[in-house]
């Protein structure tokens, strides 16, 4: 293709720059206080200001018609009743809640949002809100020299997006994901600003193609859309954790995943027959490599017709699923949205007859080319269609399947635009809109249909859904994998900031294809990538047709041994990780966190893209280059212990760390806890014994909430779960551990051991005030029975 050559930058190729010519919205004409805020009549329409909570305020303006308070399906929150003061002065209007102050300058309209201490969070200066005659809307804000920007969902590049310009338009990108590759599959029009250690958030609830520009202007940024209203929320923070809590109060949090979904997953495009799948499962079992899930990619279907099996390749799917489940392995099939155009195919017939497919306004069904050839696309904006699609999953649940993999749901179409005709109309519950407006919602709404359908049919069991595309709020239904990466070291590096920013965008359950999807992987890369995968929230090895196999044993024994060790470590860490997932469910806090999230006052963490935290006390600093056995590691405030050697490292410093191929550098903060279970083949095996590791060091207030429930049902919603809140005080050779049980659930484990690391002399340990004596002492470790 000529576009792939230098022809792309031929002088005659210069794309026409769109006439942006934004109009300012003018001045205030009238002010009116409302129950939750105010309506400010401007020269360009009504600006509505609504307090959702004292710490969350929404701004809405439609310059082209009536301003509506209707929201996108990203939103699950309704405004609470908030106490606030309103003052209408000559030059400005003030609205003040306990946490936020909104100042509206009257002529021209300029907004400033400040926190309770008067610190400005967001300010419009020379430029404010605008619109143009192509129905585009835009908001300009000041940018402080100290500002750093995070979130934006699934983006390439480094952690901090200052200096970047990003677009939200769900796109299937098989071409290599480069720093300049934008957009990708997800649209999360949200970000967090960190300024001098304090954070605030902004969510732009607009489903059109949106742009976030932190590049064009030196001291300002903007966000805008190709249509729709100006509609955004400001969240006050001030801690990064608070922003996540606030953002996920608006858009929802993850359900607690089934425990099996946080085990190790094996995939390939494709395991092509029942025989191959059985052999694969047996190899894992024979080699004793833990495994919870095997994926069926598109070859399981009859000519890629969803809700079918190719009976020649998969003659007895129910038997296969149940035989594997007996061994603790689940099967997850892929389900794409495209339904093959075939008048003899039941799903197509039902879709046409029920009016379930997306159509042109004139009534013709839209057909696009995907894996099955010409295909129709369910209109997931309609609850009727979602119900139909959800119920179709009976086909899978009847076979014993509990998880589904949604792919190509941007939706991807094999054509120049890569997606559906923008003129296609979506029903949208009686409020029809074009695909141009609702494109970014397709994956989210397919997720809603699939998750809800599976949940209904699984009668109390937790479904697991994996999705490629999504919009803000997708975390309510699905885990996200980051699409078609490649077996490049650069893609391993890139996956860290990408998954961290997904976590900061309310999506804590995410991960890349471990080993890389396209291109040929190799032993060293797969080993280093699996080490990282063991600590990333979603852990799946997946690779593409036509490239090297990359199951754990594919590159010989040397690598297999290390890969196995790290998959085992994942299983050992499950009680700890599962507790972090429960925390994400409770508060939106991500499982995998950038260091800035825990150390927002430490400027060394702001752009740290090659290290991450698991929870609040574990730092992982992987090796992500070939042939390298050393790297610089930054450790923030506190003292840190090398997980493997027990060696101590000082915080607020960079260190040169050695890590041979079998070592993933992991550091635990002194004075904190890690809880581990036993080595096991699958998550189905219960922990008889639990080990609480305490890394001795001065601390007065560390706490970890160990969470346990049955791991498979929704009974936790009715209180059948146990949270053991463990508070630690370590000082002067003394450890005081207080354990408070909350909730009712009989845990799996029969014994719990406390191992204290990092003390050579005697130590006095009390648990809930009772002094304990050690049952074992070796090297620098004391073991106690709890």
Q: Which two tokens stand for residue 345?
A: 């195919």
Tell me, letter by letter, the H, E, C secondary structure of 750-779.
Answer: CEEEEEEECCCCCCEEEECCEEECCCEEEC
Q: Is 30 exposed, middle or buried (0-12, 13-18, 19+ CB in 10 A)?
A: exposed
Task: Please state the φ and ψ torsions of residue 245, each to the nearest 5 degrees.
Answer: -60, -45
Q: Which two tokens stand for residue 642?
A: 């090398």
Task: Please state the φ and ψ torsions of residue 566, each to the nearest 5 degrees.
Answer: -75, -30
Residue sitting closest to ligand GLC (CB): 269
Shortest Å, Cβ 483 to ligand GLC: 5
Helix axes 557-572 and 523-533, enclosed angle (nearest 10): 0
> Which one, 72 or 270, has the nearer CB to ligand GLC?
270
**Positions in 406-465 near ligand GLC (CB under 6 A):** 407
* Catalytic site residue from 484, 513, 568, 583: 484
633 vs 628: CA distance, rounded Å: 14
Chain centroid offset of residue 221 CA? 25
Active site residue 410: yes
Longest Cα–Cα distance of the chain, Å, equals: 83
* Catalytic site residue from 407, 437, 524, 583: 407
Shortest Å, Cβ 299 to ligand GLC: 9
Chain centroid offset of residue 57 CA? 24
668 vs 617: CA distance, rounded Å: 6
**Positions in 336-395 near ligand GLC (CB under 6 A):** none
Interface with ligand GLC includes 55 (CB under 6 A)? no
Shortest Å, Cβ 264 to ligand GLC: 17
Q: Number of residues interacting with ligand GLC: please give it, by CB under 6 A.
A: 10
Q: Can the peptide bond before residue 258 be classed as cis, meaning omega within 30 degrees of 0?
A: no
353 vs 769: CA distance, rounded Å: 70
338 vs 411: CA distance, rounded Å: 8
Among 47, 331, 334, 458, binds ligand GLC (CB under 6 A): 334
Contact 200, 122 (CB under 8 A): yes
Shortest Å, Cβ 542 to ligand GLC: 6
- Output b/e per residue, 246-278; b: 16+ Cβ within 10 A: bbbbbbbbbbbbbbbbbbbbbbbbbbbbbeebe
**Positions in 623-682 near ligand GLC (CB under 6 A):** none
Shortest Å, Cβ 412 to ligand GLC: 8
> Which one, 174 or 360, has the nearer CB to ligand GLC?
174
H-helix or E-strand spanning residue 224? strand 220-225
> Which one, 482 or 605, has the nearer CB to ligand GLC?
482
Shortest Å, Cβ 468 to ligand GLC: 6
Nearest to 483 by CA among 715, 93, 156, 82: 156
Shortest Å, Cβ 400 to ligand GLC: 22
**Positions in 250-269 near ligand GLC (CB under 6 A):** 269
Shortest Å, Cβ 513 to ligand GLC: 7
> Which one, 151 or 512, has the nearer CB to ligand GLC?
512
> Which one, 482 or 589, has the nearer CB to ligand GLC?
482
Strands (E) in 79-133, as ranges, are: 85-88, 92-96, 100-105, 110-115, 120-123, 129-131
> Which one, 58 or 542, has the nearer CB to ligand GLC?
542
**Positions in 528-547 near ligand GLC (CB under 6 A):** 542
> Which one, 261 or 735, has the nearer CB to ligand GLC?
261
Interface with ligand GLC includes 484 (CB under 6 A)? yes
Shortest Å, Cβ 285 to ligand GLC: 24
The dihedral of CA 43, 46, 51, 57: what is its sign?
Answer: negative
Shortest Å, Cβ 410 to ligand GLC: 10
Active site residue 407: yes
Among 53, 330, 455, 468, binds ligand GLC (CB under 6 A): 468
Contact 657, 665 (CB under 8 A): yes
H-helix or E-strand spanning residue 350? helix 346-353
Interface with ligand GLC includes 483 (CB under 6 A)? yes
Instruction: Please calculate the CA angle 500-724-461 and round it to the nearest 5 degrees.
Output: 70
Size of the chain in residues: 786
> Which one, 297 or 616, has the nearer CB to ligand GLC?
297
Instruction: Please calculate the CA angle 778-781-783 and round it to the nearest 5 degrees.
Output: 95
Q: From residue 38, give the alpha-carbon distance in Å to each of 41, 87, 95, 136, 653.
A: 10, 11, 8, 24, 49
Backbone φ/ψ region at 475: left (φ over 0), alpha (ψ -120 to 50), beta: alpha
Q: What would the x/- binding string for ligand GLC be over residues 269 to 308, using CB under 6 A?
A: x---------------------------xx----------
Backbone φ/ψ region at 83: left (φ over 0), alpha (ψ -120 to 50), beta: beta
> Which one, 497 or 512, has the nearer CB to ligand GLC?
512
> Which one, 402 or 410, has the nearer CB to ligand GLC?
410
Nearest to 340 by CA among 378, 312, 311, 310: 378
Shortest Å, Cβ 502 to ligand GLC: 16
**Positions in 561-600 near ligand GLC (CB under 6 A):** none
Interface with ligand GLC includes 247 (CB under 6 A)? no
Residue where the block lists tokens 């970014």: 440
> Which one, 289 or 334, has the nearer CB to ligand GLC?
334
Shortest Å, Cβ 150 to ligand GLC: 25
Q: Can the peptide bond before residue 270 be classed as cis, meaning omega within 30 degrees of 0?
A: yes
> Which one, 264 or 269, has the nearer CB to ligand GLC?
269
DSSP letters for 573-634:
THHHHHHHHHHHHHH---SEE-HHHH-TT-GGGTT--S-EEETTTEEE----STT--EEEEE
Nearest to 33 by CA among 83, 77, 100: 83
Residue 431: CB atoms within 10 Å: 9
* Catalytic site residue from 46, 274, 410, 642: 410
> Which one, 209 or 468, has the nearer CB to ligand GLC?
468
Residues with a catalytic annotation lie at: 407, 410, 484
Binding residues vs ligand GLC (CB under 6 A): 269, 297-298, 334, 407, 468, 483-484, 517, 542
């Amino acid at each position: 293709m000529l576009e792939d050559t230098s022809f792309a930058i031929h002088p005659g190729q210069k794309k026409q720059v769109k006439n942006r010519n934004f109009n300012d919205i003018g001045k205030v004409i009238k002010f009116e206080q409302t129950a939750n805020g105010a309506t400010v009549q401007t020269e360009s329409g009504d600006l509505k200001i609504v307090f959702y909570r004292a710490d969350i305020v929404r701004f809405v303006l439609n310059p082209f018609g009536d301003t509506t308070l209707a929201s996108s399906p990203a939103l699950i929150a309704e405004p609470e009743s908030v106490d606030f003061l309103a003052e209408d002065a000559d030059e400005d209007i003030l609205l003040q809640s306990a946490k936020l102050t909104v100042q509206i300058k009257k002529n021209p309209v300029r907004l400033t949002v400040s926190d309770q201490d008067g610190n400005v969070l967001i300010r419009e200066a020379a430029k404010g809100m605008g619109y143009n005659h192509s129905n585009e809307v835009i908001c300009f804000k000041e940018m402080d020299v100290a500002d750093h920007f995070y979130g934006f969902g699934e983006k390439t590049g480094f952690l901090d997006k200052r200096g970047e310009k990003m677009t939200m338009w769900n796109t299937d990108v098989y071409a290599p994901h480069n720093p300049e590759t934008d957009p990708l599959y997800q649209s999360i029009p949200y970000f967090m600003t960190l300024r001098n250690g304090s954070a605030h958030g902004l969510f732009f609830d607009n489903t059109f193609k949106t742009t976030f520009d932190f590049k064009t202007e030196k001291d300002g940024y903007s966000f805008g859309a190709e249509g729709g209203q100006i509609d955004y929320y400001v969240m006050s923070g001030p801690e990064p954790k608070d922003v996540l809590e606030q953002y996920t109060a608006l858009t929802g949090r993850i359900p607690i995943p089934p425990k099996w979904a946080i085990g190790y997953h094996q995939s390939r495009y494709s395991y092509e027959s029942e025989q191959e799948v059985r052999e694969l499962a047996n190899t894992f079992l024979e080699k004793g490599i833990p495994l919870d899930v095997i994926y069926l990619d598109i070859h399981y279907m009859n000519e890629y017709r969803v809700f079918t099996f190719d009976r020649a390749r998969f003659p007895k799917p129910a038997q296969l699923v149940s035989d594997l489940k007996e061994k603790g392995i689940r099967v997850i099939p892929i389900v794409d949205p495209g339904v093959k155009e075939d008048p003899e195919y039941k799903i197509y017939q039902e879709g046409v007859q029920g009016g379930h497919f997306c159509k042109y306004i004139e009534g013709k069904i839209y057909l696009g080319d995907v894996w099955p050839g010409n295909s129709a696309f369910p209109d997931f904006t309609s609850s009727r269609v979602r119900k139909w699609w959800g119920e179709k999953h009976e086909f899978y649940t009847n076979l014993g399947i509990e998880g589904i993999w949604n792919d190509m749901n941007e939706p991807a179409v094999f054509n120049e635009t890569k997606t559906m005709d923008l003129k296609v109309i979506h029903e949208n519950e009686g409020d029809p809109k074009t695909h141009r407006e609702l494109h970014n919602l397709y994956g989210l709404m397919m997720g809603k249909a699939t998750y809800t359908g599976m949940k209904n049919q699984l009668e109390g069991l937790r479904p697991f859904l994996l999705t490629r595309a999504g919009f803000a709020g997708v975390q309510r239904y699905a885990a996200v994998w980051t699409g078609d990466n490649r077996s490049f070291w650069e893609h391993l590096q890139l996956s860290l900031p990408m998954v961290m920013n997904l976590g900061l965008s309310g999506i804590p359950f995410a991960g890349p294809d471990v080993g890389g999807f396209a291109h040929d992987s190799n032993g060293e890369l797969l080993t280093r990538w699996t080490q990282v995968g063991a600590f990333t929230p979603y852990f799946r090895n997946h690779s593409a047709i036509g490239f090297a196999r990359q199951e754990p044993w594919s590159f010989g024994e040397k690598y297999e041994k290390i890969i196995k060790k790290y998959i085992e470590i994942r299983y050992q860490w499950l009680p700890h990780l599962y507790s972090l997932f429960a925390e994400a469910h409770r508060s939106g806090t991500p499982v995998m966190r950038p260091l800035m999230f825990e150390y927002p006052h430490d400027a060394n963490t702001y752009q740290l893209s090659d290290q991450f935290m698991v929870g609040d006390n574990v730092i992982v600093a992987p090796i992500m280059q070939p042939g390298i056995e050393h790297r610089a590691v930054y450790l923030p405030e506190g003292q840190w212990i090398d997980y493997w050697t027990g060696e101590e490292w000082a915080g607020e410093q960079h260190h040169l760390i050695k890590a041979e191929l079998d070592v993933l550098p992991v550091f635990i903060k002194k004075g904190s806890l890690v809880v581990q279970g036993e080595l096991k083949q699958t998550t189905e095996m219960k922990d008889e014994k639990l080990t609480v590791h305490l890394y001795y060091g001065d601390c007065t207030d560390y706490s970890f909430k160990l969470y346990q429930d049955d791991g498979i049902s929704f009974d936790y919603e009715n209180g059948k779960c146990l949270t053991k809140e463990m508070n630690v005080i370590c000082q002067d050779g003394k450890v005081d551990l207080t354990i408070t049980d909350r909730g009712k659930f009989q845990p799996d484990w029969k014994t719990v051991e406390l191992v204290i690391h990092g003390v050579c002399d005697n130590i006095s340990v009390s648990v809930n005030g009772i002094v304990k004596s050690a049952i074992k002492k070796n090297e620098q470790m004391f073991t106690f029975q709890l």
